[in-house]
DNA sequence: TATGAATGAGTCTTCATTCAT
DNA sequence: TATGAATGAAGACTCATTCAT
């Protein structure tokens, strides 16, 4: 029943250290196979600290996921706002994804394997809100071009798979090491294919 | 707590019963989160029996994966052999995937989340052989159309993402319940887009 | 992920060994302060075995409580059936309690501290049934003497405190070591007091 | 997650707030199962504050117990001093207990489950002194009536169980919710029984 | 006096795996 | 082949306690 416990680290950035450590572990072992102790080792913090800040492994994963998806989304919206035409927009969606995945491969792999994460209810609803806001903005940006007849009229739920599906599929391939050709080298091919698939003729 | 052990299934079907039970569990809880006991409950067999036939959870998952991927691949090759043109071939790749996923949603979900499975070395090399044979056959089937100039010349590793990426992406969406529109209703859109993306102009 | 585990004990009496070990621990440290490991040490069994049979510490405590209370109750009913008069019955209630506590002091202490136990719902309803059956039988045995006017007519819920309260209170005292005089030496005083308190004048 | 620390209660009352919060928690979850954090939540104070005032959970429990038992005892002595006869004294013991429990059911429950508390050595000896003083005073008050032959001569350690045992037993019943009839309604029955059990004939 | 982040030993619990029957 | 009691390493999580601010 005797305890100790005197703080030996001050770090206001403790949260970030833990998130980075967790990402490295999730990437190496998978979310399910990563143990709280592995994250703690990597982050060089105490178990208690991890629980204090995130409430457990799932809490860390949720926070990481939300941070990652937010960064990916925010970056896209920023670039999209600078686009002037439908073609530029479509290409930007593909190229931004390729850029982002190239720059953050670990985070990208983590986002692509989200099904392993058991989000807490609050995290779930937060995510839902994030998705709604993001896709709302994206669809509203592209909507006018469909109305103007510059893009094909398709079932709404097929636009994203048609535009992003191929680059995402290739990203999976590259991230898993089954192909070595960098995304940057083939991104143009996918951008071109995407525009061809949705442009009005 | 002790009970007399009388077999309640005759052995030949035992394997299939266990595979079906495992699939249901994997689909409900995820591969990593499913326990041997859950499979045993569902299959109404003993732990010993499961170990006798598959050597453990990973063994069941491997067998299930290999059976699934083989069925998917074999079905495609069969339909592909009946095709006469590049366009028919490309469309068939998309439509067959849509058909198969629609008919076997649980198995499809399982195949898409293969990253959670820890394959034994033998299973790994068996899988590698299966993939090589399959993609060899598929590429050899399509190769002549590229040579004849009926299909675009693209970096080889981009064909599959471009043709299958969108339907696969949509399948993920549908399998996860985030969209309700059946695959059959949108498969034609994706087949059309795929052909447009790879046809020579 | 590697495991071992070959059974090194057969024991059909494994359950009893665990119960006895748990009782000793509960008595020494209290239910709440006893750890599963302490019980396992004392019982010289594996943790898995304990969980296999009882599902955890609370399960062991529940089983022990139900066994104990059943033994106490059954003994009383047996002796009560041999009684011919109200006086003999009342004295028997007191003397049987004193006897039983003297013979099973650990179990008695455990029963008296039942509030520490968190019974599972099934255990709870089982206990309720046991109490109903027991008190039903006891009240039906004594009822006729009240009807015949041989015992005082009192509010029903006061009979048990009046008859058993003093000996139970003394038993607590003795079991806690705050008095040394054996129950047997003072039981007659309490039996006499109990009869005086409920006899008709 | 950091917040500025401004005291929300001025210090003199802080102790009482914590004691009340602890009592509520002990009553709801049991002493052993209550955590320092639960008390802190309920008291709306900081962990540091709780440690500053009481040195930990056991310190709070000890203080609460000593306060409670002192109040119960002091009340009895006060009423006893106003009594003129043995009968009045015996009745007062029973009725005061019934009154006190009725007015402070949470505290009464807490006192009755004192076995869960791990008193610090100083608290232990303080308690011992309190008991000695109290029972010394009570026995000295009643002693003369035994000497005068107005009360039965019994083994000394049986007086308290005989007089207080029944009402205490009933109080347990009522405090646990197993009976609904208020103590006040049956207290007279127990007072009568107590006097009958100890009066000289 | 008050605060709460940090600590980590201690506990509970799960679950893959073995093997005697 | 089938069975399931037994095993115990591994992991998640709790919570009393300290101490710099």
Q: Check whether A1 has a pLDDT greater than 70.
A: no
State the chains in contact with A (3 or more Cβ–Cβ pairs under 8 Å).
B
Q: Check whether D140 has a pLDDT greater than 60.
A: yes
pTM for this one? 0.84
Residues 6+ apart with CB under 8 A from C167: C94, C97, C98, C183, C187, C190, C191, C194, D161, D165
Which pLDDT band holds residue C54 (cuts at 50, 70, 90)?
Answer: very high
Report d(CA D31, CA D107) in Å as an integer.
Answer: 12
Report d(CA D188, CA D118) in Å as an integer.
Answer: 36
Q: SS3 for C199?
A: strand
Question: What mean pLDDT is predicted for residues D168-175?
Answer: 97
Which pLDDT band holds residue B2 (cuts at 50, 70, 90)?
Answer: very low
Which pLDDT band holds residue A5 (cuts at 50, 70, 90)?
Answer: very low
Backbone angles phi, psi at D151, to 5 degrees: -125, 150
Domains and CATH numbers, chain A: 1-55 (1.10.10.60), 64-198 (1.10.357.10)
pLDDT in tens, B116-172: 888 888 899 999 999 999 999 999 999 999 999 999 999 999 999 999 999 999 999
pLDDT in tens, A67-102: 999 999 999 999 999 999 999 999 999 999 999 999
pLDDT in tens, D60-81: 999 999 999 999 999 999 999 9
Q: Do chains B and A touch (3 or more CB pairs under 8 A)?
A: yes
C190, D158: Cβ pair inside 8 Å?
A: yes
pLDDT higher for D63 or A115?
D63
Predicted local confidence at residue D115, as pLDDT: 83
Q: How many CB atoms lie within 10 A of CB D92?
A: 18
Find the helix packing angle between A183-198 and A86-103, rounded to 10°: 150
Residue A62, Cβ density class (10 Å: 0-12 exposed, 13-18 middle, ≥19 buried): buried
Question: What mean pLDDT is predicted for residues D169-190?
Answer: 96
Q: SS3 for B199?
A: strand
pLDDT in tens, A165-187: 999 999 999 999 999 999 999 99
Residues (38-67, chain C) with CB within 7 Å of strand F atoms: 45-49, 51-53
Q: Which of C94, C193, C194 to mutate to test the interface with D (most CBs of D within 10 A)?
A: C193
Question: What mean pLDDT is predicted for residues C177-184?
Answer: 96
- Of the candidates A68, A134, A59, A127, the residue with the CA atom closest to the CA atom of residue A101: A68
Query: DSSP letter string over A6-47?
Result: ------TTHHHHHHHHHHHHHHHH-TTT--HHHHHHHHT--H
B157, A166: Cβ pair inside 8 Å?
A: no
Q: Check whether D159 has a pLDDT greater than 90.
A: yes
Q: Check whether A29 has a pLDDT greater than 60.
A: yes
Report d(CA C104, CA A7) in Å as an integer.
Answer: 50
Residues 6+ apart with CB under 8 A from A1: none
Report d(CA C165, CA D165) in Å as an integer.
Answer: 5
Residue nearest to nucleotide E19 (CA to C1'): C6
Place of tokens 């097929």: A158
Tokens (6 digits) for A32? 């399910």
Residues 6+ apart with CB under 8 A from B91: B191, B194, B195
pLDDT in tens, B54-89: 999 999 999 999 999 999 999 999 999 999 999 999
Which pLDDT band holds residue D2 (cuts at 50, 70, 90)?
Answer: very low
Place of tokens 């646990």: D176
Contact D17, D50 (CB under 8 A): no
C157, D181: Cβ pair inside 8 Å?
A: yes
pLDDT in tens, D15-30: 999 999 999 999 999 9
The total number of residues shown for chain D amounts to 201
> Which sign, positive or negative, has the C-alpha torsion C126, C127, C132, C138?
positive
Q: Check whether C11 has a pLDDT greater than 80.
A: no
Angstrom distances, CA of residue D49 to CA of B137, D8, D14, D42: 74, 12, 9, 13
Backbone angles phi, psi at D165, to 5 degrees: -50, -50
User: Does any CB of chain B come closer than 8 Å to the CB of residue A169?
Assistant: yes
């Amino acid at each position: 029943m005797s305890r100790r416990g005197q703080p030996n680290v001050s770090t206001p950035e403790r949260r970030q250290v833990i998130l980075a450590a967790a990402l490295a572990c999730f990437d190496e072992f998978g979310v399910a196979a990563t143990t709280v102790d592995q994250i703690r080792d990597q982050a060089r913090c105490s178990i208690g600290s991890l629980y204090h800040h995130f409430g457990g492994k799932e809490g860390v994963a949720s926070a990481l996921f939300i941070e990652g998806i937010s960064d990916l989304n925010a970056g896209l919206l920023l670039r999209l706002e600078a686009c002037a035409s439908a073609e530029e927009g479509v290409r930007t969606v593909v190229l931004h994804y390729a850029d982002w995945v190239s720059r953050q491969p670990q985070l990208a792999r983590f986002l692509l394997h989200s099904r392993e994460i058991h989000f807490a209810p609050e995290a779930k609803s937060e995510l839902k809100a994030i998705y709604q806001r993001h896709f709302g903005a994206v669809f509203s940006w592209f909507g006018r071009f469909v109305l103007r007849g510059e893009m094909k009229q398709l079932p709404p739920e097929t636009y994203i798979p048609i535009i992003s599906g191929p680059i995402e599929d290739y990203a999976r391939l590259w991230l898993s090491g089954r192909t070595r050709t960098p995304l940057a080298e083939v991104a143009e091919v996918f951008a071109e294919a995407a525009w061809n698939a949705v442009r009005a003729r």
